[in-house]
Structure 1
Amino acid sequence: MFAFASSLGQTFFISLFVPFLAADLGRTETALAAVYGLATVAAAVLLPWIGRLVDRVDLLRLGGVVVAVMLAAGLAFSQARGLPVLVAALILLRLCGQGLMSHIALSGVARYVARGRAKALAVAGLGHAVGEGLLPLTVVFALGLWDWRVVFAGASLVIGGVLAPFALWAVRGRRRLRRPARPSASGGAREGRPLLRDPRFWALAPALLAAPFIVTGLVFHQGLIARGLALPPALFAAGFVGFAVVQAPAALIAGAAIDRYGSRAVLLVHLLPLAGGVALLAAWPQPWAPLAFLLLAGVTNAWGGLLRTTLATDLAGVSRVGAARSQIAALMVVSTAAGPSLVGLVLGLGTRAGLAAIALGAVAVVAPAVFVRTSEP
């Protein structure tokens, strides 16, 4: 329920209202994109500091505060008439919705479930997939009936005022889920080591952050890629349906694999689908290639989403999973911010040559991870 409710602050949801907001405020969509980017970076800076509270306070109380702030931010966004209110609302929506709602959901599951943790995380993460599949169509239908401000306020009240509180009510008696975890006796000296001071993490980080960096960069430049490969841009737009649909089964498969073989084993192979999809675009720029690329990128995206939580648990232990996961999330935002610029430079070498270089790079960044041992069973 919390993973689903995080949709209120997700890009796919907010972007549906941007054309209407731009018209009301007399701003261009490009200008609003810059404001949105700055708000996202501000939220990413705050996330590690607030996200570590997951390890220290009752999740029921923390969740209640986050839901209340998210609801207030959603209502403020729906009534924004100027930039100050809009910026404040966007920062809080990105922080509480996209950031903390997902963070509480996945960190809570990670520390509550020991056996079969990755499969449990995959099931919890289905809330994201349901939101991505259900809400855009619902919003488009509603926008045909009501003003966008009414629709966004209504969505805020339903998600933040009904669904999320119901989720909190459902866990009120689960004290082991709610209270902070203690360092395990079996964790040894490594249990609880700060993630950013752990050399193992920095060896794994290139492989862990490569997927969001590459996917964001390539999606941002999809028009340039389409022109360079002489393909209709609409093929990429259609392929995003496959990108969304494939992630749910891919996450369930990855969850079973992580539980059986460990996070590091899946990390070593999780970039192969993405690299294969990029290579297909470079080698065979046929009409089916964008769909194949986005399907394979969706597989890698689903696997990477799970790995960011399971590796945080393996490296930092359940007692620090909240702090570790929020730090990884902040680094991921930095990687996605850098992706469009750096991927654009590589594509400047020539579309097909640039795609081939990106495919090889996706494989190469895994090399340091081969020599890393984590504290997983």
Structure 2
Amino acid sequence: MTYFTFLRDNARWLSASYLLTTFSGFGQTFFISLSAGDLRAEFGLSHGDLGLLYMVATLGSALTLPYVGKSLDHYPVQKIAMAVMAGFALFCLALAHAFAVWMVAFAFYGLRLCGQGMMTHTSVTAAGRWFSAQRGRAVSISMLGFPTAEALFPLCFVILSGTIGWRGAWTVSSLVLILVAMPVLFVLLAKDRIPSTAEVAAAKAEGRQWTRAEVLRDPRFWLVSCGVNAPAFIGTAVLFHQVYLVELRGWSLEVFASAFLLMASGVVIASLIIGPLIDRFSARQLLPYTLMPLCVACFVLANVDAQIAAFVFLGLVGIGNGFNGTLVGAFWPEVYGTRHMGAIRAVAFSIMVFASAAGPGLVGWLIDIGVSFDAQVTAMGIYCLVFAAVLALAARAYRSDQHS
């Protein structure tokens, strides 16, 4: 099946998965962090204070995700998506009308749970379940929602906040979810996709169908999770403190913001390339390479002061995110089966949310106590290098298990 034929025959479900990922952008760090300066000024918070607040709220969403995420194993995707988007819109309004720090924390919690957590979880889980032989391509297309949001949402927010204020911009975000996202996705998700007999016959044997309890007892799961969630930790940490980074280096914030287009392009290119490669070689075989772009990105950012480093860093982060997001989306159902994937992926996503929560808080605290930003980013690069080797060993262990 050609790429065009695949897109044409499955446009309904691929569009739904893509749009779920796109609209998750309202709950992603690159969008929320645009209000960081206003929140610090209005509520008298330091970098560390706001980072800690964000970390606690995100950790709370991570603890909640395994319980709500398994609902995808029991209810239609359409019902889950509608409920999540309704809650998502309410939390956007909560931040728009926050008058105390506790309300900011509550809004952060909901935005991270609904946006980063359940919207993405629903999109990738549905794509992995709807498609088997073409899973890599399906997940890669759903991942294109991230660069779309990264390219469009920040610019729109900056324009709106400059016109009607940051609170007004969050109100508009809520209205977009209610008036645009919900009606469109209600129609697209009205019909569930059932793989055809030919697809089932062409699909690779899925083998054992692991339960969540069995997966949690598998040490390989935890090793892989520590590796593949490095992008969540590092990307969130650096982007949440992007204003500090720009001030530290004496860069132009406008020029730095323009580099996000390169990041979005990197995600698109990597996602479109890695999807067919996964279908051809398997996610297991490609696992050891997923952290290499991010590793190089960290060493460049830590050692190059010129503003070109921002473009190189964000471009490589984009490539790494496209590679890693697509790979992980296909990897878990490949090695653990699809029968209990809602429950399994909910845990995997909660770990990712934990990683993204730890980044801003830890880096903000280290900044407050005087640890240099360059030293922190260098340590992140070393972590990626070490876990690239760990992932190679884990991939070999999974392949041995497959052949045993």
TM-score (norm 2): 0.78
Give the Cα separation in 1 of the matches to 2:317 and 2:223: 23
Give the Cα separation in 1 of the matches to 2:167 and 2:371: 41
Match for residue 293 of structure 1 among 306, 309, 313 = 313
Cα deviation digits, residues 165-210 of structure 1 (max 9, x gap): 3112222122649xxxxxx996454444642122332343343233
Aligned residues: 368
State the match for 1:205 in structure 2.
Answer: 225
Query: 1:54: Cα distance to partner?
Result: 0.8
Q: Which moved more, 1:310-319 or 1:129-138?
A: 310-319
Give the Cα separation in 1 of the matches to 2:354 and 2:112: 14
State the match for 2:4 in structure 1.
Answer: none
Cα deviation digits, residues 284-312 of structure 1 (max 9, x gap): 77664443333223211221112222122
Match for residue 83 of structure 2 among 31, 43, 65 = 65
State the match for 1:174 in structure 2.
Answer: 192
Match for residue 247 of structure 1 among 267, 273, 296 = 267
Aligned-residue identity in percent: 30
Give the Cα separation in 2 of the matches to 1:135 and 1:287: 23
State the match for 2:394 in structure 1.
Answer: 369
Matches within 5 A, 1:39-50: 39-50=57-68
Check the 8 A contact 2:260/2:314 in 1, yes or no: yes
1:16 equivalent in alignment to 2:41: no
In structure 2, do the counterparts of structure 1 residues 225 and 9 end up closer, same or farther at CA, with 3 Å as the change threshold? closer
Match for residue 28 of structure 1 among 24, 45, 68 = 45
In structure 2, do the counterparts of structure 1 residues 372 and 86 end up closer, same or farther at CA, with 3 Å as the change threshold? same
In structure 2, do the counterparts of structure 1 residues 359 and 148 end up closer, same or farther at CA, with 3 Å as the change threshold? closer
Query: 1:39: Cα distance to partner?
Result: 0.9
Q: Which moved more, 1:237-246 or 1:267-276?
A: 237-246
Matches within 5 A, 1:1-377: 1-24=19-42, 26-28=43-45, 30=47, 31-174=49-192, 176=194, 187-192=206-211, 194-216=214-236, 232-234=250-252, 239-280=259-300, 288-339=308-359, 341=362, 357-358=382-383, 360-373=385-398
Give the Cα separation in 1 of the matches to 2:112 and 2:96: 15
Give the Cα separation in 2 of the matches to 1:154 and 1:227: 29
Question: In the alignment, residue 261 of structure 1 is paired with which amino acid?
Answer: F
Listed as ranges, the gaps of 5+ residues in structure 1 are 178-183
Check the 8 A contact 2:33/2:239 in 1, yes or no: no
Check the 8 A contact 1:212/1:336 in 2, yes or no: yes
Check the 8 A contact 1:39/1:90 in 2, yes or no: yes
Give the Cα separation in 1 of the matches to 2:31 and 2:304: 33
Query: 1:227: Cα distance to partner?
Result: 11
Question: In the alignment, residue 8 of structure 1 is paired with which amino acid?
Answer: F
Query: 1:87: Cα distance to partner?
Result: 2.8
Give the Cα separation in 1 of the matches to 2:324 and 2:204: 29
Check the 8 A contact 2:91/2:110 in 1, yes or no: yes
In structure 2, do the counterparts of structure 1 residues 145 and 211 end up closer, same or farther at CA, with 3 Å as the change threshold? closer
Query: 1:45: Cα distance to partner?
Result: 0.8
Listed as ranges, the gaps of 5+ residues in structure 2 are 1-18, 196-202
User: Relative contact order (C-alpha < 8 Å, sep 6+): which is higher?
Assistant: 2
Q: Which moved more, 1:57-66 or 1:210-219?
A: 210-219
State the match for 2:15 in structure 1.
Answer: none
State the match for 1:180 in structure 2.
Answer: none
Give the Cα separation in 2 of the matches to 1:196 and 1:366: 18
Check the 8 A contact 1:206/1:366 in 2, yes or no: no
Give the Cα separation in 1 of the matches to 2:240 and 2:29: 13
In structure 2, do the counterparts of structure 1 residues 176 and 27 end up closer, same or farther at CA, with 3 Å as the change threshold? farther
Give the Cα separation in 2 of the matches to 1:84 and 1:223: 24
Question: In the alignment, residue 275 of structure 1 is paired with which amino acid?
Answer: C
Check the 8 A contact 2:161/2:167 in 1, yes or no: no
Give the Cα separation in 2 of the matches to 1:85 and 1:277: 36
SS in 2 for 1:306: helix
Check the 8 A contact 2:209/2:338 in 1, yes or no: no
Question: In the alignment, residue 216 of structure 2 is paired with which amino acid?
Answer: L
Question: In the alignment, residue 92 of structure 1 is paired with which amino acid?
Answer: G
Q: Which moved more, 1:346-355 or 1:79-88?
A: 346-355
Check the 8 A contact 2:151/2:260 in 1, yes or no: no
